Amino acid sequence: MSWQLAVLGPVELTADGVPIPAMPPKQQAALAMLACARGRTVSVEELVDGIWGADRPSSAVGALRNYAWALRKHLSTQGSVLLSSESRGYRLDGPLELDVDGIERLRAEGTEARVGGRLEFADTALRTALGAWRGDPLTGVPGPWAAAERARLRRLHRVLEEDLIEIAVQRGDFSHAMAELEALITGDPHSERLRALMMTALYRAGRRAEALDEYQRIRRLLVSEQGIEPGPVLAELHRQILSDEVPTVEAATAPIAMVAPRPAQLPPDAADFTGRQEQVHELCSAFGGVAPPLVAICGMGGVGKTALALHVAHRIRSRYPDGQLYVDLCGASAAPADPEHVLGAFLRALGVAQKEIPVGVAERAALFRSAISGRRMLIVLDNASDATQVAPLLPGEPECAVLVTARRPLTALPGVRSAALRVLEPEEAVELFARIVGAARVAAEPEAVRRIVELCGLLPIAVRIVAARVAARPQWTVVSEAERLAAERHDLDRFRVGELALTAAFRAGYDQLPAEAARAFRLLAVADLPDLSLAATAAVLDTIEPVAEDLCEELVDRAMLESVGRGRYHYHDLMRLFALGRPGTDPAADVTSRLLDFYLATMKTVLRVRHPGLRMRLAPTGHPGTRLADLEATREFLTVERRNLNALYRLAIAGTPRHRVLAADLALTVAETGLACDASIDPARTLEELARAIEADGNVVAARRARLAVVFALLGELDEPDQATAHIDRLLAEDDPDSDEWASGAVHAYAGILALHNGDPARAATHFATTLTMARRAGSPECVRVAYSLLARAYSAAGRNRDSLAAAARAVVADDKPGVRRHIVWGLIEAAWVLSAEGDFDRGSRLYDTALSLSRGFGSTRIESIVHARAARAHLNAGHFAKAAEHAERAEATRVTVGMGAFYTHNLLVRYTALRRLGRAVDAAECYRAATTQIPDFDAALTSWSAAPQVPATR
């Protein structure tokens, strides 16, 4: 199916020539914006700005979703054109043709035909193009984007009319041309191109004096109203008329008014330009027929903005046959280029004599716009400092294109399309290294090359520097350079070869920072976490969040800091090292103290929300922490911050004894939540280092808390009960209930869990009884409930069903204070298990459903998975195989990504058995394949299934 979108008049979408029903105006605006993006993802923010502008209502995003839904409905008749939703916006893919595309093709064909002397063909092409207009472009479509595009298309229509008149002059049809020109000049008396066409037509018609009068009229108008002389094209034509040097009609085979110089100032394209293919394609597409003519590439120093801009410029230069201008605006230096001087250079390149160049930015900018009027030129403005520097250098012609590079976004420029440039992909960085060093050396030591590009942070300038040094020393091995770089990476002066230096690229931006931003740049680098929330940055900077946000966004704008989401910030590794090397940084101990204080204060809030009955003595904090109003907010905080917490423990290890005490309490609060899991880190190793460091400080109480956190990580996250046993044995040997009742109770709770794991429920019950005693002494209702739940579990495993039910009942009613009362779930699970085992399956099933409802209510997929696992086994024991399979599948679906390995094995055993008993051989075989792929000893577990514990003993 062929889809067409007409915008040269009222918007009309057709499929195989059949109109699609009319859409509301704002939906038309959304469709037009997406279609004109040519397959590029258009962000929600960009769409909202384009449709509503500054007056956007609060319902704008919701309305946009409705428009997207309606567009999908329109396009659903065939799958050739698809509207895709992405996290940041929408993208239109497929063969959708715009009527404007045909206009651009016809104009290009017409220009080529004129240059080749085929004027009849050119005339026909342009008349066909003009005939495509059905009225005012985008008639009735609202919004700033439509207004800007409508203005651009109106200018395009005008240019086509002028091109057609120029052909008439070239063909000798002077009377017709002059009649058309009189009407157009009345509407635009300042157009030098129209005046040049009129002068040429008059002269070739034998009316030389009138042609000279026409020049004087435009000159008087420009001088009196704008204070400038006519541009070089018009001045040269005036000279030719005076000296009778204007080509005759017979000699004129090229378009009129092409007598000015055609500068070709682009520096050479990088011979080893590598990767960036998606960005190259998007940028080249941005300079297509209907895309905005102003594009800015933004990014940190050394990321390759200039290389990309020049590569793209050379790819598209043929589209701009009247020349290319280039300037390095030195925006990252202490003395950015003066726009007045740049304009002077541009004017000289365009053939304007020095004596005719006026003084002042405004006057030169006006003359510059006149000089390129009617021309198709590409202007590359490299290394801009800000929008103020760029604005005077912009042409007024829609046929000219501007490509800008800058460290900071240039959003203040009207109609700019920004492209944020990131570091290279790993494969691209390796390819760049290979192009410089040679493929043979890279192939011989591929792991060392990958290590080098990682140490370079995938930053092109760093990769280029190291590669150039290796290439210049063929006797070196790549491995030796990788080892040297790893050892000396903290010294950024090592990243230097010839005139290329990494520190120079970074320092250029740093030296321009205001004092407060420079301090923030240094301080935040000391907070060596994977990323920082706005609240954490405010704590580090010891200020309020609005001020911290202003400082961080200033650094982001200057490409000294990266924004990884609204209110979250991150350093490039090498940029962090650069920041740490700047003098004047506050003591690292102060920054670490502020961070630990902030995070521990926030975790206290988490415990108040999630476990209001918990009584745990924690170190005092001065910061109020982040306000977390509900369970979902606490869960989101822990999910997002897990990697930061692990990095914070490492900062504490390298810090002071006070830091390590705070870190031990912080680790224990995180362990108590049971929510913070991340497969990308190994918390047990870090926490064990923390425990050893605290032991070296001589703080026995804090060391025990750190080891308790290690035990939780090994049991709850990494599923390593054997490793946890050694730590528990040590903690039991050093148990001191008088110094820390809560910790003592936790030690016995973990000892009992391990006893259950080892098949010793009697020993487990003894430990859980001690946990109950400690919980009562500590005055912690939450811990009392936990202890009863654990006792119920131990009694059940020992076959003491009546005692199990009694303990489970006490767990549920142990305390009726308000709060989440999360640990009621454990009592419900044990009661449900016992009742089901005794044949009262209806009551048992209802208790499982209640436990599931509660676990979902406080947002713990870990506990929800455990409930499903227990219910699955109970259903299997009762012969309810379909229910057993369903619960086992849901237990697997809700299982957290790390830890709970024993539960995973159990779920698969239950599901496999249930599927076989149901006769679902294909599903059972698939379950078996998945199990044996992921669990090496699954066959052994299956063989001993009848002797396996009912459910693995993990809380």
∠ CA 847-851-852, nearest 5°, is 115
Query: Which amino acid, residue 316?
Result: I
Of 815, 790, 814, 816, nearest to 804 (Cα)?
A: 790
pLDDT in tens, 219-229: 998 888 877 78
CB 494 within 8 A of CB 488: yes
Which domains does the chain possess?
Answer: 1-171 (1.10.10.10), 277-415 (3.40.50.300), 426-504 (no CATH), 512-586 (1.10.10.10)
Helices (H), 116-171: 119-131, 144-171
pLDDT at 952 (0 to 100) = 39
pLDDT at 348 (0 to 100) = 86
Both tokens of 518, joined, read 């420079």
Place of tokens 């030169």: 364
- Highest averaged pLDDT of the listed ranges 298-307, 355-364, 611-620, 805-814: 298-307
Q: What phi, psi does 107 have (nearest 5°)? A: -65, -40
Mean pLDDT for 789-817 is 82
pLDDT in tens, 562-597: 888 788 898 888 888 888 888 776 677 788 899 999
pLDDT at 367 (0 to 100) = 83
Q: What phi, psi does 500 have (nearest 5°)? A: -95, 120
pLDDT at 829 (0 to 100) = 83
Long-range contacts of residues 837-840, Cβ cutoff 8 Å, at least 24 apart: 837/796, 837/801, 837/874, 837/877, 838/801
Mean pLDDT (the chain, rounded): 83
Interior/surface letters 501-539, b for 16+ CB within 10 angstroms, e for the rest? bbbebbbbbbebbeeebbbbbbbbbbbbbbbbbbbbbbb
257 pLDDT higher than 60: no
288 pLDDT higher than 70: no
CB 51 within 8 A of CB 30: yes
Contacts with 545 (C-beta within 8 Å, 6 or more apart), sequence order: 534, 535, 538
pLDDT at 61 (0 to 100) = 82
Of 783, 742, 791, 743, nearest to 766 (Cα)?
A: 791
- Highest averaged pLDDT of the listed ranges 166-170, 289-293, 317-321, 715-719: 166-170
670 pLDDT higher than 80: yes
Q: What does the alpha-carbon distance between residue 391 and residue 401 come to, in Å, rounded to a whole number?
A: 14
pLDDT at 951 (0 to 100) = 41
pLDDT at 170 (0 to 100) = 86
Which of 66-80, 199-213, 402-416, 723-737 is the least confident region?
Answer: 66-80
pLDDT in tens, 166-194: 888 888 889 889 999 998 898 888 888 89
Mean pLDDT for 133-140 is 90
Q: What does the alpha-carbon distance between residue 591 and residue 611 come to, in Å, rounded to a whole number?
A: 30
pLDDT in tens, 508-560: 888 888 999 999 999 999 888 888 999 999 999 999 999 999 999 889 888 88
766 pLDDT higher than 50: yes
Mean pLDDT for 344-364 is 83
Q: What does the alpha-carbon distance between residue 559 and residue 297 come to, in Å, rounded to a whole number?
A: 12
Q: What does the alpha-carbon distance between residue 9 and residue 146 come to, in Å, rounded to a whole number?
A: 12
Query: How deeply is 195 buried, as exposed, middle or buried, from its count of CB atoms within 10 A (0-12, 13-18, 19+)?
Result: buried
Mean pLDDT for 604-624 is 82
Residue 94, CA distances (Å) to 37, 163, 892 in order: 12, 33, 38
pLDDT in tens, 617-644: 888 888 988 888 887 788 788 878 888 8
pLDDT at 485 (0 to 100) = 85
Q: What does the alpha-carbon distance between residue 12 and residue 132 come to, in Å, rounded to a whole number?
A: 13
Query: Which amino acid, residue 192?
Result: E
427 pLDDT higher than 50: yes
pLDDT at 843 (0 to 100) = 87
CB 455 within 8 A of CB 485: yes
199 pLDDT higher than 90: yes
Mean pLDDT for 767-783 is 86
Query: Which amino acid, residue 790?
Result: L
pLDDT at 583 (0 to 100) = 79
Which of 241-245, 890-894, 948-952 is the least confident region?
Answer: 948-952
CB 83 within 8 A of CB 72: yes
pTM for this structure? 0.60
Mean pLDDT for 933-949 is 64
Indicate the helix (H) or strand (E) that contains 200.
Answer: helix 192-204
**Residue 814 pLDDT grade (very low, low, confident, very high; cuts 50, 70, 90):** low
Q: What does the alpha-carbon distance between residue 98 and residue 924 come to, in Å, rounded to a whole number?
A: 53
675 pLDDT higher than 70: no
Q: How far is CA 340 from the centre of its chain?
A: 37
Of 240, 245, 232, nearest to 357 (Cα)?
A: 232
Residue 588, CA distances (Å) to 585, 656, 779 in order: 8, 10, 38
DSSP single-letter state for residue 872 = H
pLDDT at 644 (0 to 100) = 87
pLDDT in tens, 456-483: 888 888 898 989 888 888 888 888 888 8
Q: Are strands 324-328 and 378-384 parallel, antiparallel or unpaired?
A: parallel
Contacts with 381 (C-beta within 8 Å, 6 or more apart), sequence order: 327, 329, 390, 393, 402, 403, 404, 405
pLDDT in tens, 65-109: 888 888 887 776 656 778 887 656 788 887 888 888 888 788 878
Both tokens of 117, joined, read 């002397």
